[in-house]
Amino acid sequence: MKIGVLCSGGDAPGMNPCLRAIVRAGDQYGDKIVGICRGYQGILNGEFWGGTDRAVDVREVSGWTSKGGASFNSSRCDEMRTEEGLRQVVENLRRYRFGALVAIGGNGTLTGAMEIAKRWEEGQVIGIPGTIDNDVLGSDYTIGFATAVKTGVDAVDKLRDTAGSHDMMFLVEVMGRDCGDLATAIAIAGGCELATIPETHTSIETLVEKLKRFKALGKKSTIMIVAEGDEYGGAYKTMEALKQAGAPYEMRAVVLGHVMRGGSPVPLDRILATRLGRFAVDALHQGESGKMVGEIAGKLSLTPLEEAVASHKTVARELIELLERVSV
């Protein structure tokens, strides 16, 4: 089977170990695994890893378990939002005689995969959840999330040192788009006092009351995680609102931004990526299509792409409550 593999949207640590697993699993089936460059854009441009639509050799992915980024490159592709763009993508998949497509990425990528599956009757399409946002339904964790949590916690640990030395408050803005999973996980693992996330309403007055209580209790420094998708529009704006409302700490804002998407994947991401990559190829050989592979309660699973992208995963209420109960 000739299988095209791509990474699309924002890259995530673990995409490379996933590509490695796909190339090696495909080799065992006798497949021709072709690396498509720059996501869906590469199908439109006929841009393949190594220059032509040749098979990626098993040796070419050596050492990719520890490699950050997406070595086939990734991009966002506006044409995928139009009927004409989708028609062109499917036409090119036929032109290059692909039998199957594996797309690794987040919500936008999986939506694109679903649209292709609807139009490419004779081809098979499997999606793999790869995004630091962990906002996809049908998998407890997405590839890249565990590494991004580690990156965020490392930053918080460092900021706590300087916050302690100067009796200060830091507002740390983290990625995650419309999902507060990343922010909540970093806040809990980093022992942060507060977190603001898109899933809950943020009241500046309540935050200031809490900060005053912390101060009265003798807490000299504090760290608050701000999800980029929270209603105030990031750490700087939240800091301004808190200042205006009389927050009792000297404050600084730090935006972690794209640092969160980089770095060597942590072991949990490497294992998840390898399991899902291998499983995606197995699923294709079992005749599956229009589905996303995932891991639910430790077990590999297949979820129709329609269900995976139907809505965003929302952060578990239990975690939000946990954060409130332990931050005193």
The residues annotated with a catalytic role in the active site are 133
* Nearer Cβ to ligand F6P (110/117): 110
Residue 248: CB minimum distance to ligand F6P, A: 31
From residue 222, how far is each of 177, 192, 260 by CA, in Å? 24, 7, 22
Residue 235: CB minimum distance to ligand F6P, A: 14
Residue 259: CB minimum distance to ligand F6P, A: 11
Residues 6 or more apart from 76 whose CB is under 8 A from it? 8, 9, 39, 108
Alpha helices in 224-327 (DSSP H): 235-244, 267-285, 305-309, 317-326
Q: Can you name the residues that pair with 271 across neighbouring β-strands? A: none
Q: Which residues bind ligand F6P (CB under 6 A)?
A: 9-10, 106, 131-133, 175-177, 228, 261
* Nearer Cβ to ligand F6P (132/315): 132
Are 173 and 255 in contact by the 8 Å Cβ rule? The answer is yes
Are 180 and 197 in contact by the 8 Å Cβ rule? The answer is yes
In this structure, the number of other CB atoms found within 10 A of the CB of residue 197 comes to 27
Residue 175: CB minimum distance to ligand F6P, A: 3
* Nearer Cβ to ligand F6P (31/228): 228
* Nearer Cβ to ligand F6P (133/230): 133
Alpha helices in 30-144 (DSSP H): 40-45, 83-95, 107-119
Are 177 and 133 in contact by the 8 Å Cβ rule? The answer is yes
* Nearer Cβ to ligand F6P (106/198): 106
Residue 192: CB minimum distance to ligand F6P, A: 19
Query: Would you state the structure tokens that stand for residue 215, as one six-digit string?
Result: 């101060």
Which three-class secondary structure state does DSSP give residue 211? helix
